[in-house]
Structure 1
């Protein structure tokens, strides 16, 4: 009894389902280098959220009760809003939209996004799965090296 979990830069982990949910979650957090306090879950290939993060007794219930053998799952991070704020889901598989565009869209729909109308024209690669109140960390120009900046300014005559 095993399943496959995808995460990171196209990494896969084969996991035995005959274990406790808590052991499975702890193992996956270590493999994908999540923080212990992070809440993670799985999304199956049809886009169904497995809700392992809501199992009442993860230390005593078997993972095989919730997951199917020989299935493929995507590891996701669950970001629960405080108070009345909604829950968001973030893929822990890089470039989910490239490998599974339909799952990227499903994950987007599972997350509550009040700006949905504004983002309809964007591709799944351009969307950010994070709370809408989270500030952006800066423009890409701030992260360019000095040589890249000089090259870019020599190529462009327009000020940015």
Structure 2
């Protein structure tokens, strides 16, 4: 559940991702020395920003966005000019590194040109959070849901599910008028 974070003059530290994203970002700002009024984000080695600065609630976990044991770079997010339509849109990402690689800087510049990108979650997390969609369920499950409530499968009739129906027999009373238990 830990990630490696690199900043400044190739200094790095470990961060636990088993926490809310907002708490992780606050910790990053204090560790790197960025004022709370500035937006920061993380990017991977390929220069893909994780768009963590867009998260607004404490329910979003950092582990949903950041796979464990990966290395990330701290980036400063620069927004459009105040008073314009791009005021709330990320225009560029600047790595907080003393000598960032040309490939990293170029990749971050390209990502700044596509401001409407949403945060990416790991596929494992998405699959565990959502149940089966209605498109994936068989049509019998849509129409015969009442069978489940009765304790039977919706796709098979009762005979197929439990074998043939049981025959019930009653023991004939003997001459004494008492019934004897049936032997099996």
* 1:28 maps onto 2:28 in alignment: yes
* Aligned-pair CA distance for 1:13: 1.4
SS of equivalent residue, structure 1 residue 22 = helix
**C-alpha distance in structure 1 between counterparts of 2:54 and 2:106, whole Å:** 23
**C-alpha distance in structure 1 between counterparts of 2:65 and 2:76, whole Å:** 18
2:17 corresponding residue in structure 1: 17
How many residue pairs align between the two structures?
Answer: 108
2:41 corresponding residue in structure 1: 41
Q: How big is each residue's C-alpha offset from its partner over 1:109-155, in whole Å with a ceiling of 9 and x where there is no partner?
A: 2234xxxxxxxxxxxxxxxxxxxxxxxxxxxxxxxxxxxxxxxxxxx
* Aligned-pair CA distance for 1:47: 2.1
* 1:54 maps onto 2:54 in alignment: yes
1:68 corresponding residue in structure 2: 67
* Aligned-pair CA distance for 1:60: 2.2
Query: So what's the TM-score if we normalise by structure 2?
Result: 0.55
**C-alpha distance in structure 1 between counterparts of 2:31 and 2:85, whole Å:** 32
SS of equivalent residue, structure 1 residue 96 = coil
Name the larger-Rg structure.
Answer: 2
1:95 corresponding residue in structure 2: 99
Q: How big is each residue's C-alpha offset from its partner over 1:7-45, in whole Å with a ceiling of 9 and x where there is no partner?
A: 111110100110111110000000110001110001111
The RMSD of aligned alpha carbons is: 1.4
Query: So what's the TM-score if we normalise by structure 1?
Result: 0.63
- Point out the more displaced range, 42-51 or 72-81: 42-51
**C-alpha distance in structure 2 between counterparts of 1:6 and 1:67, whole Å:** 14
2:85 corresponding residue in structure 1: 84
Taking the TM superposition and a 5 Å limit, the aligned residue runs for 1:75-154 are 75-82=74-81, 83-85=84-86, 87-97=91-101, 101-112=102-113
2:2 corresponding residue in structure 1: 2
* Aligned-pair CA distance for 1:56: 3.4
Question: Runs of 4 or more off by more than 4 Å in structure 1?
Answer: none
* Contiguous gaps of at least 5 residues in structure 2: 114-184
